[in-house]
Copies of this chain bind each other. A is one copy, B any other.
């Protein structure tokens, strides 16, 4: 755990940012009302409205899975359908949390190579659902990930077009923003432009991967959709009694743009890493727009890097990709030297074999 950071496995292996630790220490003073009737939770509501430049309802929870599942359950009846990318986190990595929270809704996975859903993909399955009537679950919501699971980022124009199509078809729009900060840092737009101004109804705003200890927020831009959220959150055991410690983390992230600074740092390292790999003759599967790099790598190189102590996951290779695929994730706490160490590891291996 000393000197250079050799894990590129995930941004959730990172520690907590010093600013967040300081905020927790600062919040740890005396007794305050429990369950959210405290100054930090009030501050969070105000601050989020400023950052997003609109009225909103914001609810802090500790995990991304709960943020997503609670949000989707608010948008989707038990007999409803959620349209999402086939490889999205909600569909593939949450052990059926959306099904559990919604009471048995169905996730309908759409395919694309880059993790993005295109507007044209919605019409056919929804027309089919309408035609099937009561035999098919009711089209209810769209869940999109920003940044996507392939490290790509929808442009605001792409977002607006997709959410417009969804709304026209009667769907409400959820954005899984576990890496929303990385996306906004890439786009260089405002938080508002990248969310509600582009048609997002509910956002899972991630902070854990970006410097928090355990903190995400469900943000409703149409507060009428939030009506019963507080009951759902309590019922799921996601309402902390000492809520100040959850709110304080999110306040620390939003204040002074810590969330953007941290994300920019991680994104820049991902670009550095990607360019370094390309210069070494390795090819990328997708443009690097957030803090994830997907690269095709010979198996021997993967083994060599693992032997050097570098950690990262292999990823299911898409059709036609003959080499193994790896995912390399940078995070706010990494330095250029960490990236350079991995690139040096590649060099070392290549020297050996040439």
Contact = CB atoms under 8 A, between A and B. Distances in A.
B1 A13 contact: no
Which of A12, A15, A92, A241 lies at the interface centre, i.e. has the most chain B CB atoms within 10 A of its CB?
Answer: A241
A354 interface: no
A353 interface: no
A104 B95 contact: no
Grouping DSSP codes into helix (H, G, I), strand (E, B) and loop, the A interface class, with mixed when no group exceeds half, is: loop
A235 B21 CA distance: 28
A30 B12 contact: no
A255 to B, nearest CB: 19
Given A228-B77, A241-B12, A31 B93 contact: no
> How many residues of A sit at the interface, in one of the four size bands?
35 or more
B21 A63 contact: no
A12 B96 contact: no
B15 A230 contact: no
A351 interface: no
A35 B280 CA distance: 33
Interface stretch (A132-140, A145-153, A156-164, A258-266): A132-140
Given A100-B235, A230-B134, A237-B61, A245 B13 contact: no
Interface string A41-70: 000000000000000000001111111111
A66 B96 contact: no
A36 B326 CA distance: 23
B28 A10 contact: no
A69 B331 CA distance: 34
Contacts of A21: 24-25, 28
Given A96-B79, A100-B236, A213-B245, A13 B28 contact: no
Interface string A91-123: 011111101101111110000000000000000
Given A95-B234, A100-B104, 4 more contacts: A65-B234, A67-B237, A134-B234, A214-B245
